[in-house]
């Protein structure tokens, strides 16, 4: 039998980063992956492929909005969706090479096969011909991710009714697409397909899209969706799908009906736990196939950790990576990174992007904390106008006492990049006065921070906050101790 200090199951973001972290601490690490290629949902079925399609859709909508006279773009009637993911092959291929090289450099040994517990300290790796290899280990990191949920009432034939994996294999760009579920994946695909010229319907049970976002942000997103021609059916469910020769008839819970060429069911995800034989380790999963862990990503069996989508919220590659690293740091008794940062940015790659970090007005009201809002519309930003994407806004939420930055909420071009500046200022305990006094490149989208901060400062001034009236000294560079 083989012996390792750590066995990691799954090579998505949680597994990759967890394995490299454990190897960095000098441990002997094995990583087991059932697929021929590493990277999990992030590189192969979710994040990167959907963003590759989005880049094409974005380029088409940008070309339309940049007033480039004489340039006409349209999607040909014969092109397939995989063909529209122009750079997917290149990016995914580079991700595969990067992940393999990083694991090899770190000294992580890779095994191909389906991993399961033989006992709490033994992982069995089974390959296609049925043969298996047992590996004995001190520590286990479960990072097996999730797959699209398939509610029993829908027949996923992947010809008319698709999930968020198979939708990327569409052999034509449909005339119309009904998306059941207005979560992140549903909203991203809605705006992508709308930009490709598809008539999109969203059918969602909630009163507004992504209700956990800052309310203004979610309402602005809905307005922009409506302007893009997306039909939103809210506070309603699809009760029946009837597949016809050319279209699918969708019956809604109030009895009304709509007809769409294709249907995408974006109804959440379930954990990949079935193959793991968790009982042999003394573990069990929830109904959704997720595992319960503590703040260190430790399960109730002390040497077994779990990270990434398998532990549920927030189900993002960005967080999964950090969870894997924190899990291994704790498991191996190291001090470096004891917890995942509380400042979790959310990036939603709709067109335009939506991104948030920190507190919203709603969360501060719930906490009973006072706040001041500073906001600037991006149609007043020169760079946004130059690129023909002068939509949305940047909104800062700050403490009225001293201007401490508490939250950043943005909808507009490159929102997911823009939010990082605010996130850094928040992490270092900074205030909105940093933005009013900093020199920003011009024209840039980042400069919007200055005008949002001016807006907050004038409100503070009207509230009589000392220091809001005169300029507040801000260090030229952030202090080393911060």
Ligand X SMILES: Cc1cc2nc3c(=O)[nH]c(=O)nc-3n(C[C@H](O)[C@H](O)[C@H](O)COP(=O)(O)OP(=O)(O)OC[C@H]3O[C@@H](n4cnc5c(N)ncnc54)[C@H](O)[C@@H]3O)c2cc1C
Going 340 to 477 to 398 to 357, the CA torsion angle's sign is: negative
Q: Judged by CB under 6 A, does residue 114 bind ligand X?
A: yes
Scanning 137-145, 172-180, 352-360, 426-434 for contacts with ligand X by CB under 6 A, the matching segment is 137-145
If the CB atoms of residues 50 and 376 are measured against ligand X, the closer one turns out to be 50
If the CB atoms of residues 115 and 468 are measured against ligand X, the closer one turns out to be 115
Q: Judged by CB under 6 A, does residue 276 bind ligand X?
A: yes
If the CB atoms of residues 68 and 104 are measured against ligand X, the closer one turns out to be 104
If the CB atoms of residues 116 and 431 are measured against ligand X, the closer one turns out to be 116
Which of residues 186, 271, 289, 308 is near ligand X by CB under 6 A?
308
What is the rounded CA–CA span in Å between residue 150 and residue 410? 33
If the CB atoms of residues 120 and 388 are measured against ligand X, the closer one turns out to be 120
Q: Judged by CB under 6 A, does residue 289 bind ligand X?
A: no
* Both tokens assigned to 279: 């009982």
> Mask: binding to ligand X, 33-72, rule CB under 6 A, as x and -?
xxx----xxx---xx--x----------------------
Q: Judged by CB under 6 A, does residue 272 bind ligand X?
A: yes
Q: Judged by CB under 6 A, does residue 326 bind ligand X?
A: no
Cis previous bond, 89, omega within 30: no
Q: Judged by CB under 6 A, does residue 143 bind ligand X?
A: yes
Which of residues 145, 374, 392, 413 is near ligand X by CB under 6 A?
145
Q: How far is the CB of 185 from ligand X (least distance, A)?
A: 5
Which of residues 195, 200, 217, 320 is near ligand X by CB under 6 A?
320
Instruction: Give 183's DSSP letter.
Output: S
Which of residues 164, 218, 360, 431 is near ligand X by CB under 6 A?
164
DSSP states of 199-259: EEEEEESSSSSSTTS-HHHHHHHHHHHHHTT-EEEES--EEEEEE-SS-EEEEETTS-EEE
If the CB atoms of residues 313 and 464 are measured against ligand X, the closer one turns out to be 313
Cβ atoms 269, 147 nearer than 8 A: yes
Cβ atoms 17, 110 nearer than 8 A: no
* Both tokens assigned to 425: 């200022």
Q: How far is the CB of 428 from ligand X (least distance, A)?
A: 23
Which of residues 166, 318, 337, 458 is near ligand X by CB under 6 A?
318
What is the rounded CA–CA span in Å between residue 13 and residue 17? 6
What is the rounded CA–CA span in Å between residue 213 and residue 393? 14
Which of residues 7, 20, 115, 217 is near ligand X by CB under 6 A?
115
If the CB atoms of residues 142 and 460 are measured against ligand X, the closer one turns out to be 142
Tell me the H-state helices in 107-214: 184-195
> Mask: binding to ligand X, 3-32, rule CB under 6 A, as x and -?
------xxxxxxx----------------x
Which of residues 163, 247, 309, 447 is near ligand X by CB under 6 A?
309
Q: Which of 459, 238, 214 is nearest to 354 (CA)?
A: 214
Please list every residue from 330 through 369 that binds ligand X, using CB under 6 A: 347, 349
Q: How far is the CB of 319 from ligand X (least distance, A)?
A: 7
DSSP states of 273-341: -GGG-GGGGT----TTS-----TT-B-SSTTEEE-GGGG-TT--HHHHHHHHHHHHHHHTT--S--S--
What is the rounded CA–CA span in Å between residue 37 and residue 20? 17
What is the rounded CA–CA span in Å between residue 317 and residue 18? 13
> Mask: binding to ligand X, 408-447, rule CB under 6 A, as x and -?
----------------------------------------
What is the rounded CA–CA span in Å between residue 302 and residue 299? 6
Counting every residue, how long is the chain? Answer: 482
If the CB atoms of residues 383 and 414 are measured against ligand X, the closer one turns out to be 414
If the CB atoms of residues 308 and 400 are measured against ligand X, the closer one turns out to be 308
Q: How far is the CB of 468 from ligand X (least distance, A)?
A: 37
Classified as helix, coil or strand, 179 is strand
Cβ atoms 297, 308 nearer than 8 A: no
Compute how many residues bind ligand X; rule: CB under 6 A. Answer: 38
197-200: Cβ within 8 A, 24+ apart: 197/74, 197/75, 197/173, 198/173, 198/174, 199/175, 199/229, 199/231, 199/260, 200/176, 200/229, 200/230, 200/231
Q: What is the CA radius of gyration of the chain?
A: 24
Which of residues 58, 84, 185, 192 is near ligand X by CB under 6 A?
185
Which of residues 29, 278, 316, 326 is near ligand X by CB under 6 A?
316
If the CB atoms of residues 148 and 407 are measured against ligand X, the closer one turns out to be 148
- Positions touching ligand X (CB under 6 A) are 9-15, 32-35, 40-42, 46-47, 50, 114-115, 143-146, 164, 185, 272, 275-276, 308-310, 315-318, 320, 347, 349
């Amino acid at each position: 039998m083989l012996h390792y200090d750590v066995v990691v199951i799954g090579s998505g973001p949680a597994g990759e980063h967890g394995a490299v972290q454990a190897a960095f601490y000098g441990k002997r690490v094995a990583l087991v992956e059932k697929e021929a290629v590493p990277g999990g949902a992030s590189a192969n079925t979710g994040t990167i492929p959907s963003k590759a399609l989005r880049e094409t859709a974005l380029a088409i909508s940008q070309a339309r909005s940049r007033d480039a006279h004489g340039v006409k773009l349209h999607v040909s009637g014969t092109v397939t969706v995989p063909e529209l993911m122009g750079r997917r092959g290149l990016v995914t291929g580079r991700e595969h090479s990067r992940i393999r090289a990083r694991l090899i450099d770190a000294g992580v040994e890779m095994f191909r096969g389906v991993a399961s517990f033989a006992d709490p300290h033994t992982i069995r790796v089974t390959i296609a011909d049925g043969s298996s290899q047992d590996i004995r280990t001190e520590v286990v990191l479960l990072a097996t991710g999730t797959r699209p949920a398939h509610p029993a009432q829908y027949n996923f034939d992947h010809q008319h009714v698709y999930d968020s994996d198979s939708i990327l294999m569409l052999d034509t760009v449909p005339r119309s697409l009904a998306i059941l579920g207005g979560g992140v994946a549903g909203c991203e695909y809605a705006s992508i397909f709308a930009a490709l010229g598809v008539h999109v319907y969203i059918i969602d049970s909630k009163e507004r899209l992504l209700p956990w976002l800052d309310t203004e942000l979610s309402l602005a997103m809905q307005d922009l969706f409506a302007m893009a021609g997306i039909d939103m059916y809210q506070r309603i469910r699809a009760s029946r799908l009837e597949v016809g020769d050319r279209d699918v008839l969708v019956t809604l819970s109030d009895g009304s009906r709509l007809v769409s060429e294709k249907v995408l069911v974006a109804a959440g995800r379930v954990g990949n736990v079935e193959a793991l034989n968790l009982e042999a380790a003394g573990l069990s999963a929830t109904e959704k196939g997720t595992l319960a862990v503590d703040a260190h990503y430790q399960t109730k069996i002390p040497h077994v950790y779990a990270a990434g989508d398998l532990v549920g919220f927030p189900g993002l590659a960005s967080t999964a990576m950090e969870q894997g690293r924190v899990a291994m740091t704790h498991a191996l008794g190291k001090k470096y990174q004891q917890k995942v940062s509380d400042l979790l940015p959310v990036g939603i790659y709709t067109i335009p992007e939506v991104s948030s970090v920190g507190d919203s007005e709603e969360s501060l009201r719930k906490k009973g904390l006072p706040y001041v809002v500073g906001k600037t519309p991006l149609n007043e930003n020169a760079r946004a106008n130059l690129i023909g994407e002068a939509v949305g806004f940047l909104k800062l939420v700050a403490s009225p006492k001293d201007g401490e930055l508490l939250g950043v909420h943005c909808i507009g071009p490159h929102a997911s990049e823009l939010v990082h500046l605010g996130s850094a200022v928040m992490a270092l305990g900074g205030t909105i006065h940093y933005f009013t006094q900093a020199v920003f490149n011009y024209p840039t989208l980042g400069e919007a921070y200055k005008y949002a901060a001016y807006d907050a400062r004038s409100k503070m001034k009207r509230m009589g906050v000392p220091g809001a009236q005169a300029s507040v000294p801000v260090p030229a560079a952030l202090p080393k101790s911060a």
